[in-house]
Structure 1
Amino acid sequence: MKKTLRLIPLLGAALLVLSACGTSAVTNQSTGAWETIVYYFALAIKGMSFGQSMGLGIVLFTLAIRVVMIPLYHYQMTSSRKMQEIQPQLKAIQEKYRGLSDTESRLAMTEETRAVQKEAGVSTWSSLLPLLVQMPILWALYQALTRVDFVREGHFLWLDLAKPDQFYFLPILAALFTFLSSWLTNKAIKEKNGAMTAMTYGLPVMIFFFAFNIASGVSLYWTVSNAFQVGQILLLNNPFKIIAEREEKEAIEKEREAKKRRAMRKGKKKRK
């Protein structure tokens, strides 16, 4: 867990690096490597804008990106789930070496932790690496929506893509799907902390107010992306199914322990 906490700043650093790539307009005259990627993303959106509907292009390209990243998401969620399952063992190791700060004890704790992770087929990086890969892709898509003029312009249904949604429909949907995505992701986690709860309820509020003031093209992206995420979770990492499987395993284990106790009591009676 401590290793995970030490790696979290890397995510923030990566985001800062991408943010530092600039906020100025991107055109076909832009020469930077990052700007070139952003511009090609914008061209892809334009290419999917059938009937010259840039909003439809945003929807289709967002869905295409999310579909391409399904294997990464599935790998990340599987690794995260396995990490959650071995948390009791990892905590037991930490308790075992609590208060021991000598080098030998620290090395022993590290080795035991690695052994548990190896047996489970996971590592700290196995859940973080897919996220690091996804970040620049999603950020390039976001910047294509905000930095390339021909993507920002246009209309879709009642929306002027360059202006906020005047009926607040997209901000509400973006916040709702963000909440559902976070809630479903954390639903099956047995040991939740305050940060998870704050993120589950705080992030949708932030998204709502951002979407309330930002161009509706970006709000449309947030809505479609998070709606896809909700469906993806229900199909590939359904928390209700995970909880049911866990409860079934726990029930089987309890029954096994109960049989052992009954067998031991019978054995004692026979010896008497």
Structure 2
Amino acid sequence: MNFNLDFIVQPLQKFFFLIHGGVHTVIPNYNLSFGLTIIIFTVIIRMILLPLSVKQLKSTAKMGAIQPEMKKVQAKYKSDPQKAQQEVMKLYKENGVNPMGGCLPMIIQMPILLALFYVFNTLNMKGAGFLWIPDLTKPDPMYILPILSTVTTYFSSKLMQPPTADGSQSKQTSTMNTGMAIFMGFMSLKFKGALVLYWVINNVIQVVQTVVINKAELGKKTDNVQLSKK
């Protein structure tokens, strides 16, 4: 296997079928138990990765919160890029922001996400369907999952995008998010239903996590502003 991820893939596969054994005991119908296991398995993995996700999202939220101040600094020292950079770094330090803080959690998660991609793309459960899908080892014939993949990928990426002081950069990032969503939707037309179902559930959880954490960070910022006025 590529990337030498067998040490992650094999335990994940065993864990998946362990969960499926429990679900299938309660719900003997493969057309329900297989799909439900994918959902439960995805939720559990996301919960395990939650501390890393929270750290990444908090870092992104903090970066977004100081964007107005960064914009002022960049405008003030427009003719002196070196001074502007020094002031931006000072702003980072004062607000406890690490510009690379969101990268490390993402890097740590990547091998696991790649392994999950392989797990769901190689599940040997031929003939097991879920709801409107007759066979999750084949692409969705009704194209509902590819549509959901496109929509959830877009909103997940959009919410993860921090506000930027540069309008052109923000527009470019937004265009990239749209392009990624369309690309994932197109690929989902060919991917197995099990893999796309995992991806959709993963995106939905990511959206919920991002909204909750962003609201929490916004609440902290509001409280700090009110305290500073007293």
Which aligned pairs between 1:1-272 and structure 2 lie closer than 5 A?
20-21=2-3, 33-49=4-20, 50-51=23-24, 53-91=33-71, 92=73, 96=77, 98=79, 106=82, 112-146=87-121, 148-150=122-124, 154-159=128-133, 160-186=135-161, 189=163, 191=165, 193-238=170-215, 242=218
Higher relative contact order (CA 8 A, sep 6+): 2
Q: Distance in 1 between matches of 2:181 and 2:197?
A: 15
Q: Distance in 1 between matches of 2:213 and 2:154?
A: 18
- Identity %, equivalent residues: 29
Which structure 2 segments of 5+ residues have no match? 25-29
Whether the 8 Å contact between 1:77 and 1:127 is mirrored in structure 2 is yes
Task: Out of 200-209 and 132-141, give the one that drifted further.
Answer: 200-209
Larger Cα-atom Rg: 1
Shift, 1:111, TM fit: 5.0
**What SS does the aligned partner of 1:72 have?**
helix
Q: 1:97 to 1:234 in 2, by over 3 A?
A: closer
Whether the 8 Å contact between 1:145 and 1:151 is mirrored in structure 2 is no
Task: Out of 203-212 and 112-121, give the one that drifted further.
Answer: 112-121
Amino acid across the alignment from 1:189: P
Shift, 1:54, TM fit: 3.1
Q: TM-score, normalised by structure 2?
A: 0.76
Q: 1:225 to 1:233 in 2, by over 3 A?
A: same
Q: Distance in 2 between matches of 1:83 and 1:227?
A: 23
Which structure 1 segments of 5+ residues have no match? 1-18, 22-32, 101-105, 257-272
Shift, 1:142, TM fit: 1.0
Aligned length: 213
Whether the 8 Å contact between 1:152 and 1:217 is mirrored in structure 2 is no
Q: Distance in 2 between matches of 1:215 and 1:41?
A: 18
RMSD, aligned CA: 3.4
Whether the 8 Å contact between 1:62 and 1:225 is mirrored in structure 2 is yes
Q: 1:98 to 1:38 in 2, by over 3 A?
A: farther
Partner of 1:7: none
Write out per-residue CA displacement over residues 57-85 of structure 1, whole angstroms, 9 at most, x where no aligned residue. 22111111111222222221221222223
Partner of 2:27: none
Q: 1:111 to 1:184 in 2, by over 3 A?
A: closer
Q: Distance in 2 between matches of 1:208 and 1:57?
A: 23
Q: 1:84 to 1:158 in 2, by over 3 A?
A: closer
Runs of 4+, deviation exceeding 6 Å: none
**What SS does the aligned partner of 2:140 have?**
coil
Whether the 8 Å contact between 2:58 and 2:213 is mirrored in structure 1 is no
Q: Distance in 2 between matches of 1:153 and 1:34?
A: 27
